[in-house]
Amino acid sequence: MLNRIHKLLAKLKRLKKELVSYLIFGVLTTILNVGLFQLLIIYQIDYKIANLIALISAKTFAYLTNKIFVFKSKTPKVHQTLGELLRFGIARGFTGILDYFGLIMLVEVLLFDPVISKWSIQVIVIILNYLMGKKLVFRKQSTY
């Protein structure tokens, strides 16, 4: 019984550390995403193109930081890395579509400010990205 409690506490400690790391790198990814978006808007780039550029930049940064620092994913074989990258692309592609078209809906249909809309969508995207990253993308690799 004591051994089970010890294992549970160790698992909670790892989860807490993972969540803190995800929060830190999630904030940095969001700052990159929204900051680049705002910078491109300042330079009169159409908000749709600015959003696409910001999304691609942020997704690339997110893959690297999530793999290395958050989930500490080890993929010793090329096919494992490619599988992980494919799962990441699909998961983040889904939230990227949500981000891209959600922004268009908020700006063009509901007539909200583009920057406020971008920040609002990020809350939903961050939560979905963590859940999909943990459960679908950066999962433990089998040894064979």
Tens-digit pLDDT profile for residues 48-74: 999 999 999 999 999 999 999 998 888
Residue-level pLDDT at 122: 87
Residue-level pLDDT at 141: 59
Q: Within the chain, which residues score under 50 in pLDDT?
A: 143-144
Residue-level pLDDT at 16: 82
Residue-level pLDDT at 126: 85
Residue-level pLDDT at 121: 93
Residue-level pLDDT at 144: 42
- SS3 string of the chain? CHHHHHHHHHHHHHHHHHHHHHHHHHHHHHHHHHHHHHHHHHCCCCHHHHHHHHHHHHHHHHHHHHHHHHCCCCCCCHHHHHHHHHHHHHHHHHHHHHHHHHHHHHHHHCCCCHHHHHHHHHHHHHHHHHHHHHHHHCCCCCCC
